[in-house]
Amino acid sequence: MSKPGAYVADVTEGITDPARLPQAAVQNRSRSRRQAPCPRCGKRCYRDSEGERTLHDLGSLRSNRPVDLQVSYSKHRCEACKIYFNNDMSGLAPPGAHYTQRVIQVAVRVVLEDGLPYREACWHMWRDHRVFIPFATIQNWVEAAGEKRKTTSGARPFALGASRLLRIHRR
């Protein structure tokens, strides 16, 4: 048994064959509901079908394995608006993402607060959290986090207006 503060080599270090990496522990989650409110009109709509989505979450160092969330969610149809929509999962993961909000927050924090380069942040996320993220994905998350800051001047982005922006002149 290792002492606190003692260096313990990573058991996955030096593995070049992805088949030899530890398999992910799968946890089932459900975001399925019989009814959900329509995002347009607010009317309660019944479930039309169900879908599944796999998300990568922060892994467990105790079991030394990554964690995948198998999320089942409901798909609904609004009869009034004639639209299909999925049950809201934005608290768990952004739309279309493969990683949970927790993974994104930790990866961005590692780069911004700890000042690690993207490639080292990728290795840090695998070594300490058992989740593999390509460094370019981390770079995209960090750049998107910087773009969401509000302007300090408070100016509107299109203060010219559409007519002056497109150089359309009135007579």
What lies within 8 Å, CB to CB, of 66 at 6+ separation is 22, 24, 25, 56, 59, 130, 131, 132
Residue 166 has pLDDT above 60, yes or no: no
Predicted pLDDT of residue 83: 93
Q: Is 25 helix (H, G, I), strand (E, B) or coil?
A: strand
Once rounded to an integer, what is the mean pLDDT over residues 38-63? 90
Q: How far is CA 19 from CA 23, 29, 64, 106, 134, in A?
A: 8, 26, 15, 26, 18
Predicted pLDDT of residue 108: 94
On whether the CB atoms of residues 48 and 34 are closer than 8 A, the answer is no
Least confident of 1-15, 55-69, 72-86, 150-164: 150-164
157: pLDDT confidence band, cut at 50, 70 and 90? very low
Once rounded to an integer, what is the mean pLDDT over residues 102-121? 92
Whole-angstrom distance, CA of residue 20 vs CA of residue 16: 8
What lies within 8 Å, CB to CB, of 158 at 6+ separation is 165
Once rounded to an integer, what is the mean pLDDT over residues 21-30? 90
**Rounded to two decimals, what is the model's pTM?**
0.74
Nearest to residue 40, comparing CAs of 79, 95, 91, 1?
A: 79
Residue 132 has pLDDT above 70, yes or no: yes
More confident residue, 4 or 161: 4
Residue 160 has pLDDT above 60, yes or no: no
Residue 96 has pLDDT above 70, yes or no: yes
For residue 68, which amino acid is it? D
CA dihedral 137, 138, 142, 144 (to 10 degrees): 20
